[in-house]
Amino acid sequence: MSRFLVITADVDFEKRVRQAAAGMHGDVQSIIADYLPQGPDDVLRVLSGQLLEVLVLGPGLQADDAIRLASLFDLQYPEISVVLASTDAAEVALPAMRAGIRDLLEPSADPGTIRALLERASLAAAGRRRGLGAQVDAGPQGGRIIAVMSPKGGVGKTTISTNLAIGLGRISPMRVVIADLDLQFGDVASGLLIDPDRTIADAVTGAAVQDSMVLKSYLSVHPAGIYALCAPRNPSQIEQISAEQVGHLLEQLAREFDYVIVDTAPGLGEHVLATLERASDVVWVCGMDIPSIRGLRNGLEILDEIGLVPEQRHVVLNFADKRSGLTLIDVEATIGCPVDVTLPRSRSLPYSTNRGIPVLQDGTKDVTLRGLRQLVDRFKPGWEERPHKQLHRRAVVK
């Protein structure tokens, strides 16, 4: 049963939260005050042992105190979602994300907006609680590591990676990170219009290796509510980053986030293999041309021989075009497995990447939107348990 606690000095805000939660499972408790308890245990004491899923820190509280308390909850009770109401969203977004705050809310939001946020935060808390329970039973597992890869370059991996991250960010706000492991020529920064202060080269050395809070401070924040860890500015830095460091980095990120999207380099280099060793899912991307299709077939055969193909496989056919002289059946026969999502050739999709605004972010009408949304849906909680669903069911966009 969901439980909500509101701490605020604004009585009207507290009433709107109660209106928003009306009819939802669980009740709303409140503390009307303009100050915060010292720590999470002081907060939980007032609940008389009831299960808390969502903590709403409302208007009238000091932002610094709210962020400090949220960071303590993130460390001690990560299964509890914390929501912050603030009029200075632009200023507090970065420290809020680093503190593990699930979502930001306008203090003047209407009950309908608040209800949607409470439902999302409650679902996220339930998911985290299930994940923590699984860790107790089966050891540390963490979030899903999704490797987006292709043996050949130029097939749209970065475009698909950035759109996938944006889409998953709507499902799990502030719990998604995209890592650019095309260490020499990665384009995630430009694809998301980010100018990073720190890169992967900083994240695999020093204090960040041992302290996840330091690591999170090295991540760039995107306005869509996701994190990004971009490739080094200097391609020569790749020599200083080992496969072991990459593996440790991904394990760290998986402990902190629900989804880790990895945009890999073309080919099967040591960093790609280190990613596959830890990936829960792999999104294979190929274009509708013979070199790309043959490259994917050869890559799958090699990885199958060495046992490095993750169980969860998602095949995306990009640049699909009936005028190419090839058909979907030709592609599937060559690679030896079904295509799960087909993205037709689009003029605006490359343009969106060049602008640094993924199509799933700005909602531009595009022939690829349906396919990109279908790809995102494959990673929603419970997708694999849907009745009558085939694991590699073909989703063709016409």
The answer to the question of residue 332 being in a domain is yes
When pLDDT is averaged across residues 328-335 and rounded to a whole number, the result is 93
pLDDT for position 348 = 82
* Element housing 94 (H / E): helix 89-98
What pLDDT, in 10s, does the model give residues 362-377? 877 889 999 999 999 9
* Residues 126 and 149 reside in one and the same domain: no
66 and 204 in a common domain: no
CA distance 167 to 183: 24
- H-type helices in the chain, by residue range? 11-21, 40-45, 63-76, 89-98, 111-138, 157-171, 188-191, 200-203, 212-217, 243-256, 270-278, 290-306, 328-335, 348-355, 359-362, 369-377
Residue 323 lies in a domain: yes
Please tell me which residue, 192 or 221, carries the higher pLDDT value.
192
pLDDT in tens, 121-140: 887 777 666 555 444 333 34
Q: In total, how many domains does the chain have?
A: 2
Contact between residue 270 and residue 141 where contact means Cβ atoms under 8 Å apart: no
209 with 317, same domain? Answer: yes
Range of the domain at 281: 142-383
| pLDDT above 70 (res 39) | yes
- Residue 328 corresponds to which amino acid? L
Confidence check: pLDDT of 50 > 80: no
pLDDT surpasses 80 at 290 = yes
pTM: 0.69
389 found inside a domain:
no
199-208 pLDDT, tens digit per residue, is 999 999 888 8
* Secondary structure element (H or E) that encloses residue 318, with its range: strand 312-320
Residue ending a domain, among 77, 98, 131, is 131
pLDDT tier at 386, thresholds 50, 70, 90: low
Residue 137 within a domain: no
Q: What average pLDDT does range 157-172 have in this prediction? A: 94
